Amino acid sequence: MEKVDIIGGGIAGLALAGRLDPGRFAVTVYEQRPELPTVGTTLAMWGEAQQALSELGMLGAARSRGATIKTGALRSPTGEPMLSMEGEGLMGISRPELLALLDSAVPETVRRIIGRVDKLPAGAGLTVGADGVNSVVRRDYWGKRSAARPTPFLAVRGVIPGTPSTADIGEYWGRGEIFGLAPAGTGTNWYASFRSGAGMDKVDVATALEMTRRRYAHYSPAVLKVLSLASPENSLAQQIWTTPPMGRYVRGNVVLLGDAAHAMTPNLGRGACEALIDALTLGKLLNEMSLEAALAAYGRKRMLRTQQLRLASSLMGSIALAQGMQPWRDALLKQVGKQVARSRRKAETSK
């Protein structure tokens, strides 16, 4: 049996543990959390991530627990649509539900060690860094230069009871701040992001909520209603951190996946999707090839794509959270919005 130590039992770590051939690999997952979380907000799953869930045999279960989002709009703070979007099924699923599904697919043969890893397990075999943005695996093998970096942005988010009206769904872009609102099962998932000056340490949720209410006081009634129902018990707040650019995800018998490799700003909603795809890709390659060949192929398949997405996310963040350029950005968005609506009408009439 070949030894595989997975540091981190989050989305990437659990998905990989569930994918590796138990007949060939002796797998251990090290996770600091004693139990799966029961509270968390919604993760958007794009098509490729839904395909990954399908390959893991859990797309049906994920769909039945999540919500499909078919329409939305980029809106002004008062709710006026600047650009309407219709798409084929972006799926939203809560992080606890996704983790529970991935956890249930991990075979009994996988050893689980609960506790924070500060010193990496010794011995031959493969070490997998699936330990998120502040990865100790990356710190130990890629050095200080690879340390995570804080962005100036705070993310405050939560789920409140009651589904939103279609007329309110979307992302509201203001001057240096965004607010998102979408259905989540029988509730409404919301998020807000802005420069806060709250510092890099753990953020107090009640203080962050107060800050959010003040900041968004001029927003549409739908946003104000959501914020009036948000409480420290159903909300989360954190500073956004990202990884620096990375040129390799593999060093010897050590490999990074998910946020440990490419933590990105949440503006494209891709981090968890890519963590899943990393795990599925690596698992499949390891099951089919020698260790060395699998690691080389993993780097080739995943590095460029995920680094591009990391950059694209932060570019999207700069546009969405623009301050001085905001009036020009909104004028451009409205023009694009009109153009898209015209093309859609044309396509409808020619059907």
Residues near ligand FAD (CB under 6 A): 7-13, 30-33, 43-44, 116-117, 130-132, 136, 155, 157, 240, 258-259, 266, 269-273, 275
Q: Which amino acid is at 229?
A: L
> In the chain, what is the straight-line distance between the N-terminal and C-terminal CA atoms, in Å?
59
Cβ atoms of residues 49 and 279 within 8 Å: no
Q: Which residue, 44 or 159, is less far from ligand FAD as judged by CB?
A: 44
Least distance CB 244 / ligand FAD (angstroms): 16
Strands 149-161 and 187-195: antiparallel
Residues 317, 156: Cα–Cα separation, whole Å: 15
Least distance CB 339 / ligand FAD (angstroms): 27
Q: Which residue, 220 or 235, is less far from ligand FAD as judged by CB?
A: 235
CB atoms within 10 A of CB 156: 27
Q: Which residue, 180 or 330, is less far from ligand FAD as judged by CB?
A: 180
Least distance CB 266 / ligand FAD (angstroms): 4
Burial class (CB within 10 angstroms; exposed 0-12, middle 13-18, buried 19+) of 272: buried
Least distance CB 124 / ligand FAD (angstroms): 21
Least distance CB 92 / ligand FAD (angstroms): 8
Residues 323, 267: Cα–Cα separation, whole Å: 16
SS3 187: strand
Residues 64, 93: Cα–Cα separation, whole Å: 9
